[in-house]
Structures are given as C-alpha cells and as structure tokens.
Structure 1
C-alpha cells in the first residue's frame, strides 16, 4: 500500500498564523491561502484591510506553488518572452501565475501543500509567504 502525507487543517491554520504575524509586523494586510498537495484550499484568511481583488490571486499563487512544487517567483524568469515556459500563464484555465508570493510547503522533501499571499507588493507577498514557509519547515523538523 502507498500512502501520502498531506497538510491538515490544524497545521494550515498555524501556517496562516505565521503569515499573519509577519504581515502585521510589516504593516501590510494580506490575503493568505493554504492549499494541500493537490492545490485544494484547506484554509484562508483575509486580514482586515486586505484588497478583495487579491483573494483569488492568493489562492492562485498557492495552487501554482503546489502544482509546480516550486516557489512562483523562481518560475517567473522561465516564463518570459523567448524562454521555454513563455505562455504558461495561460494554462490550467488561468489558475497559474508566476507572481511572487506562492511557496510550497514540504516535509522530508515532499510537497504537502503550499501558501499563497497577495495584497501587498510582489516583494511583500513573497516575504510573508517565505517567512511562513520557513517557520513551517522549522516546526515540522
């Protein structure tokens, strides 16, 4: 029998808490989505003041990071004009983005979920998501 690890709701809520802590420290209200390894939403938070337009963007960032098994900002250069991945943003019915702020969550080298953050600048979104992912990594090890 083959079994797989995936992200529990309780752990997804912890990831959101770590992201909220970082966003509050930065003074940037955020939309924060956490998905399982298949990109299905497990938990979501819209901080007071976060842009409603960014709700779907946060979920898309998480979905893309889970599916790619890579941070969205790391994939971005490979999808620019003239690069092999150009046009990839049109795939998966528009549920694909290379905007920074999507980071996979891994246990023992296997992706178990991902976090997506949106409502600040791309750099702020990436910083919040990476902080939560790093804290997750410390927590599970």
Structure 2
C-alpha cells in the first residue's frame, strides 16, 4: 500500500476558462452573476463578480461551489430531500452552515469519475444559476478532451 496518492484537481487556467464561459452565458441571458470555482478539496481557485451581480450572492456562489465539490453532486439534487421530514432535512446546518441546497452549484467530473473541483453561480433564479454554471462545466470538459486551448488540468 502506497503511503501517498496523487489527486487530479483543476488549475487556475481551467478555472479562468470556466469563469469566462460562465460570464458569456450570464451576459447572453441578461443576468449578471457571482461566479466561484473551487478545486477538488473545496478551496477557492477563482472568483468573479460581474457588474450588477448581487452583493448578497457572493458568499452563496462560493458556498454552492464548496457544496458541489465537497459532496460530489449538484446542489439542485437536494431540492426534494431538504423539506421537513426529508432525508436531508437540516443539512444546511452542516459544515459551518456553508452547505447549500440552492441550485447553481455543479461538480467538475474528470474522465475517471473523480471530482476535479466545482463551479457555483448566484444572482439569478436557481435554474439560471445552474445554466450559467453548466456553461463553465462545458468549457472545462472541452479542455479535458483537448478541444480547447492547450491546458494542464
């Protein structure tokens, strides 16, 4: 058994590409966003607040990315489970109250199924936030497939 392991994670370059794609999508739908990208260990890699994005949504975007990376699924997946009596009721109280169940946080999944990081967006509706996050995921997936600019992920 090896005493150490190597873990793939997003680079700053990949995070910047994701944010650029998110910004373009946000502009196309007319909703300025707060956009956060975290690495596999939930640490913030890159953040952007577009002009007009809600100040109160800054921490929400960061927490969406934190939750998606740390729990390895999109934040929208909790929608039905968090109501009183639901299997995940009260989960938002975990992790120093950073765990969020509001849609808009998506994990970045590598080709081997490992979580490389996550993207969280906030200012619009949960569906708009998720749509913008998905644009960032798509940009990173292009890089992973070698379809985008040369990058080390």
Shared fold per TM-score greater than 0.5: yes
> What RMSD in Å do the two structures reach over aligned CA positions?
1.0
- Once the two structures are TM-superposed, the CA of residue 79 in structure 1 deviates from its matched residue by 1.8
Unmatched 5+ residue regions in structure 1? none
Equivalent of 1:129 in 127, 133, 137:
133
Unmatched 5+ residue regions in structure 2? 146-153
2:144 counterpart of 1:140: yes
Runs of 4+ in 1 over 4 A off after TM superposition: none
* Count of aligned pairs between the two proteins: 141
Give the TM-score normalised by the residue count of structure 1. 0.96
SS of 2:116's partner is: strand
Q: Which has the higher helix share?
A: 1
For residues 35-50 of structure 1, the aligned pairs below 5 Å read 35-50=38-53
CA distance in structure 1 between the aligned counterparts of 2:18 and 2:139, rounded to whole angstroms: 8
Larger radius of gyration: 2
Give the TM-score normalised by the residue count of structure 2. 0.88
Maintained 8 Å contact 2:34/2:47: yes
For residues 1-141 of structure 1, the aligned pairs below 5 Å read 1-108=4-111, 109-141=113-145
